[in-house]
Amino acid sequence: MATHKILENLFLVDLDLPIPGFYSFISSWIIKKGDRGIIIDPGPSTTINILRNALTDIGIERIDYILLTHIHLDHAGGCGDLIKCYPDSVIFCHPQAVTHLVDPEKLWQGSVNVLGDLARAYGRPSPVNGERISSGGDIVWKDCIIQSLETPGHASHHLCFFLKNLVFAGEVAGISLPSGGKHYIRPATPSPFRPDIALQSIALVIEKRPQLICYGHYGLLEDALTMLQMAKEQIGFWLTIIKDRKINGLNLDEEEIFAEILGKDSHLSAFHQLESNIQKREAYFIKNSIKGMLEFINR
At 200-255, the pLDDT tens digits run 999 999 999 999 999 999 999 999 999 999 999 999 999 999 999 999 998 899 99
What does R_g of the chain's alpha carbons equal in angstroms?
18
Between CA 259 and CA 197 the distance in angstroms is: 26
Q: Which residues pair with 220 in a beta bridge?
A: 214
DSSP letter assigned to residue 228 = H
CA angle 68, 69, 71 (to 5 degrees): 70
Between CA 182 and CA 125 the distance in angstroms is: 36
Please give the CATH number for the structural domain made up of 1-136.
3.60.15.10
Contact 2, 14 (CB under 8 A): yes
DSSP letter assigned to residue 20 = T
103-136 as b/e, with b when 16 or more CB fall inside 10 Å?
A: ebeebbeebbeebeebbebbbbbbebeeebbebe
pTM of the predicted model over 0.85: yes
Between CA 47 and CA 90 the distance in angstroms is: 20
pLDDT at 280 over 80: yes
Between CA 155 and CA 50 the distance in angstroms is: 26
How confident is residue 178, by pLDDT bands cut at 50, 70 and 90?
Answer: confident
User: Between residues 279 and 183, which one has the greater pLDDT?
Assistant: 279
Contact 191, 295 (CB under 8 A): yes
Report the percentage of the chain scoring pLDDT > 90: 92
Q: Mean pLDDT score of the chain, rounded to an integer?
A: 94
Between CA 153 and CA 289 the distance in angstroms is: 12
How confident is residue 150, by pLDDT bands cut at 50, 70 and 90?
Answer: very high
Tell me the pLDDT tens digit for each residue of 248-279: 998 899 999 999 999 999 999 999 989 999 99
How confident is residue 21, by pLDDT bands cut at 50, 70 and 90?
Answer: very high
Reduced to 3 states (helix: H, G, I; strand: E, B; else coil), residue 232 is: helix
Domain residue ranges in the chain: 1-136, 171-210+218-299
Nearest to 64 by CA among 55, 76, 77, 54: 55
Between CA 82 and CA 128 the distance in angstroms is: 10
Tell me the pLDDT tens digit for each residue of 60-78: 999 999 999 999 999 999 9
Cis peptide before 218 (omega within 30 of 0): yes
pLDDT for the residue 169: 97
How confident is residue 1, by pLDDT bands cut at 50, 70 and 90?
Answer: low
Q: Residue 12 half-sphere exposure, CB side, CA atoms within 13 Å?
A: 19
Nearest to 171 by CA among 127, 126, 231, 224: 231
Report the percentage of the chain scoring pLDDT > 70: 99
CA angle 17, 116, 190 (to 5 degrees): 90
Average pLDDT value for residue range 112-134:
94
H-run or E-run covering 95: none
